Chain A
Amino acid sequence: MPHLARLSKARRSPITKTKSITANLRRSLHRGIRPGRGRLGDSLFAAAAFLAAAGIIALMALMVYKLMQQAMPAVEAFGAGFVTSTEWDPVNNNFGALPFIYGTVISSLLALLMAVPLSLGIAIYLSQFAPSWLRSPLGLVVELLAAIPSVVYGLWGIFVLAPFLGKTVEPFISGHLGGIPVFRGPVYGVGLFAASVVLAIMIIPTISAISRETMRNVSRDQKEAAQALGATPWETVKMAVLPLARPGIIGAVILGLGRALGETMAVTMLIGNSPKISASIFAPAYSIASVIASEFAEVTEGRHMAALIEMALILLVITLALNLLARLLVQKTGSRATKAKARP
């Protein structure tokens, strides 16, 4: 019993000299004042924990610094024209990021267009309508979508989804809505549209899980008030749940967008990998993450690599900004919901 043996020595510690042991212990809990022996161990352990926590900050700072440092040659060579130029010519050492930015943004927005209504439906169903015994198994199944590795989505996309889209869905849309330029043109299966569909599937769990959580946190008296006024279940959701959960839902959508922008493997395997901007959403395109994935390992020339790293930096800055914004929104909903709960 080493603990008991230590007890007698602990009596000589400064803690016994003060008035109230309990008060001291409580204070030590909150301030980290160390009672008695083990001071060295305590300082070492506290220092290690502090270093680990500070290490996360250092890691992020180092990440931004390293990418900036490596991107410098491209920044110096192309300046602001980098993001507006459509040229991607490794042979002549000319690089512009616009086609990749276009492909990334359009595929992610299309994915959002498909994923947001479905995810909100799922979130509402799982938090409000579904019978309670069904909620957690259904929630688990939807979360399994997030567990499937992205390369498996890509594999399935290449061999199952893209041929299916290319043979049935895309000709159908093209045939009926071909008058609109975005649906015009040849269909290949593989292309911007196929990438968006897979992206949509991949971000559904993110958006639905977070918005479900914020909807569940909406205080019950709000819902009961609506019900007492005679609202139908749907009216209750519309009047009491959605308005209170709105910041959290927006946060969830932004997090989903962040995930879609940075998703690499499935997009690389499905988007067609062609650095062109075409009007049709069925045409092949390219995204920032996928050009890094497919060209980075084979790069031999300095400016080419710097151009790829500068694009990585652009993507990093965008996703950082989106994530910060989303976290703040989700936190805001959380605190508002608890405040509503705490009110008598």
Chain B
Amino acid sequence: MSEYVQTPEEEGGNTMMPAPPALPGAVPAAGAHGGHQPERGPDTGGGLYRQSNLRRRSRNIRSRLAHALCALSTVIAMVPLALILFYVIYQGAGALNFSFLTSLPKPVGESGGGMGNAIAGSLILIGIAAVIGVPFGVLAGTHLAEYRSPRLSWIVRLLSDTLSGVPSIIVGVFVYTLLVLTFKQFSAIAGGVALGILMLPTVARTTEDMMRMVPDTLREASLALGIPRWRTITSVVIKTAGGGIMTGVMLALARIAGETAPLLFTALSSRTWPMGLDKPVASLPVQIYTYAISPFDAWHKQAWAGSLVLVLMVLLLSIGSKLYFGRKMQRAR
């Protein structure tokens, strides 16, 4: 693909022969994933429809320029990622130690103190969210994949896609009006419900996709043994699709672990250890936010350390699930 001239002479024999690129650093073929592309030989000249050298060269240069710009934008997008990771590790590692992970926050002016309660609170909130979001999401996904009712399915699918685009703060406002106003109490439950709603679309849609990949022959084999349909779904289909569903759940957990906005006025925050599910509870992201916008240097350091913990948590969940799923997919093939 290094020369883009068609001449009548070339049409005959040379097309299938891969020719060495005429210019060093030539552009790789556009359809690189499609295997070998027949390459044109160097221009032998003299054709009836031959383009001028100048025009051909300018088209090649333009193509190479576009290629370079596209590669450049990929590199540019990585700069902020690298910078953020660098600063979080550099600033966070300095303030991170064992007591940070296990102790309560100290009042301003006293040194030390940590985010132990916030980490515990985050785990509680994620736990509540999983208890609500996973069964709900898996069942909804099961309905979409196994009981295909055309009228209901497309609207559920559309709405769950739409729900994933609803800003998380609005889910927070919704849960506030639904639970906090009703029970007149900020609580861990309210925070967990908000996070559970946020993980719903991811879990439902991955469950559906994964269950659809299970071949019908497995279902037929199970039904042919006289096994009721619901047992077929729970012990054959869900079991087969389990790895993929797990991946979706982990991705959803990674997403909600870092959510701050929906917790601001549902779980609120607290400077003590979690006191109960019906009481306000601290969480890592909210604590980071509070410390980051405070005017105190010591708190800023703690915010960086908290970010390091949070980023590690989220990245482990999301990279882990992706690698796991990648291996699964390869084995399936």
Question: Taking beta carbons and an 8 Å cutoff, which residues of A are in contact with B?
Answer: 3-4, 6-7, 9-10, 13, 21, 25-26, 28-30, 32, 34-39, 41-42, 44-46, 48-57, 59-60, 62-63, 66-67, 69-70, 117-122, 124-126, 128-132, 135-136, 138, 140-142, 144-145, 147-156, 158-160, 201, 204, 208, 220, 223-224, 227, 229-237, 255, 258-259, 261-265, 269, 289, 292-293, 296-297, 308-309, 312, 315-316, 319-320, 322-324, 326-327
**B27, B65, B259, B260 pick with most chain A CB within 10 angstroms:** B260
In the complex the two chains form, what is the Cα distance from A322 to B136 in whole Å? 26
Can you name the residue of chain A whose Cβ is closest to the Cβ of B178? A66
Question: Quick one: which of B147, B230, B264 contacts A297, CB cutoff 8 A?
Answer: B264
CB distance A296 to B265 under 8 Å? Answer: yes
B271 smallest CB distance to A (angstroms):
15
CB-based contact B31/A223 at 8 Å = yes
- The answer to whether the Cβ of B285 comes within 8 Å of any Cβ in the partner chain is yes
Q: Point out the residue from A131, A153, A258 that lies within 8 Å of B28, measured CB to CB.
A: A131
A30's closest neighbor in chain B, by CB?
B148
**Shortest distance in angstroms between A137's beta carbon and chain B's nearest beta carbon?**
11
Complex alpha-carbon distance, A37 and B229, angstroms = 9
- Report the interface size for chain B: residues with CB under 8 A from the other chain: 115
B78-100 CB mask vs A (1 if < 8 Å, else 0) is 10110110011001000000000
Query: Do A233 and B30 touch (CB < 8 A)?
Result: yes
Contacts A121-B69, A121-B72, A297-B268 supplied; 7 other A-B pairs, CB < 8 Å: A7-B226, A38-B231, A45-B234, A56-B200, A152-B88, A159-B91, A319-B166
Min CB–CB distance B24 → chain A (angstroms)? 17
A152 x B71 contact (CB < 8 A): no
B258 engages A148 (CB within 8 Å)? yes
Pair B165/A57 contact, Cβ less than 8 Å: no
User: Residue of A at shortest CB range from B66?
Assistant: A234
Mask, B242-261, CB within 8 Å of A = 1, is 00000000000011011111
Binary CB contact string for chain B from 139 to 172 against chain A (1 if under 8 A, 0 otherwise): 1101110111000110110111111011111110
Cβ–Cβ contact A66 & B226, under 8 A: no
Contact flags B164-185 to A (C-beta < 8 A → 1, else 0): 0111111101101110010000
* Nearest CB on A from B160, distance (A): 5
Residues on B with beta carbons closer than 8 Å to the beta carbon of A57:
155-156, 159
A144's partner among B81, B147, B155, B268 (CB-CB below 8 A) is B81
Which of A3, A54, A121, A319 has the largest number of chain B CB atoms within 10 A?
A: A121
